[in-house]
Amino acid sequence: MLRILFILAVFVAGPARAGETDTILLIGDSLSAAYGIPADAGWVALLQQRLESEQYPFRLVNASISGDTTAAALARLPRALETHQPGIVILQLGGNDGLRGLSLAELKQNLAAMIDMATSREASCLLLGVHLPPNYGSRYTERFHSIYHELAEETGTPLVASLVDGIGNRSELMQTDGIHPNLQAQPLIVERVWSQLQPMLKPGNQPSGD
């Protein structure tokens, strides 16, 4: 089970001048907070580098907190939206709910509320799912995994089904805790996220920011 070891809210790009860039806000847990690795080597920092190298005018604000649950993230989302006024919101949550055996009905409800809250402010959403270890039992894990697909279909939200599918079962890509991807895995995660994020970056696919 993940433990809340530290709180990370990294701004991986400096403040943008009005009219210069739009903001992507990432609300996540330790999988996005560079747990156990240098912050500048985590997949979120690498994603900012990808945006810059391909000349997309977006600044990425990483408001991920290790150990965060969907309930905690839902509580802090209004302030984050008000502060950063993002054009795109990336939600990477649920792992801690699952690892703690919390209510899956509440997991889905919380994620749905966050999607609704973001879209009501004219932000586009991208949902990032995770996979649980098989020792949590097939009934629980299958229902857990299905929630992300249901939300994507019900809300029309683009989905990366899992950040760690095909990574979590490879020891050479995982830290010793068996939960968090290591340095070598971070570029693989970027590619996975980029495949769904890039279409959202094109003109007309996200709010103008006016």
Quote the CA–CA distance of 183 and 109 in Å, as a whole number. 33
- Please check the confidence at residue 2 and state whether its pLDDT lies above 50: no
180 included as an active-site residue: yes
Quote the CA–CA distance of 34 and 43 in Å, as a whole number. 7
Domain borders along the chain are 10-201
pLDDT in tens, 130-139: 988 888 889 9
Q: How many CB atoms lie within 10 A of CB 93?
A: 28
For 10-201, the fitting CATH number among 3.20.20.190, 3.40.50.12780, 3.40.50.300, 3.40.50.1110 is 3.40.50.1110
Cβ 141 vs Cβ 134: under 8 Å: yes
pLDDT at 204: 56
| Residue closest to 193 by CA, chosen among 46, 65, 55, 13 | 46
End-to-end CA distance of the chain: 43
pLDDT in tens, 97-108: 999 999 999 999
Quote the CA–CA distance of 40 and 197 in Å, as a whole number. 20
For residues 95 and 10, which has the higher predicted lDDT (pLDDT)? 95
Q: Which residues contact 19 (CB under 8 A, 6 or more apart)?
A: 209
pLDDT at 9: 38
Instruction: For residue 16, name the pLDDT band (cuts at 50, 70, 90).
Output: very low
pLDDT at 71: 98
Cβ 73 vs Cβ 36: under 8 Å: no
Q: Which of 22, 30, 64, 145 is catalytic?
A: 30
Average pLDDT over residues 157-170: 94
Quote the CA–CA distance of 190 and 159 in Å, as a whole number. 14
pLDDT in tens, 25-57: 999 999 999 999 999 999 999 999 999 999 999
Residue 66 DSSP SS3: coil
22 included as an active-site residue: no
29 included as an active-site residue: no
pLDDT at 13: 41
pLDDT at 21: 66
Q: Which of 149, 171, 177, 195 is catalytic?
A: 177
pLDDT at 209: 39
- Please check the confidence at residue 8 and state whether its pLDDT lies above 60: no
Q: Give the single-character DSSP code of 60.
A: E
pLDDT at 202: 80
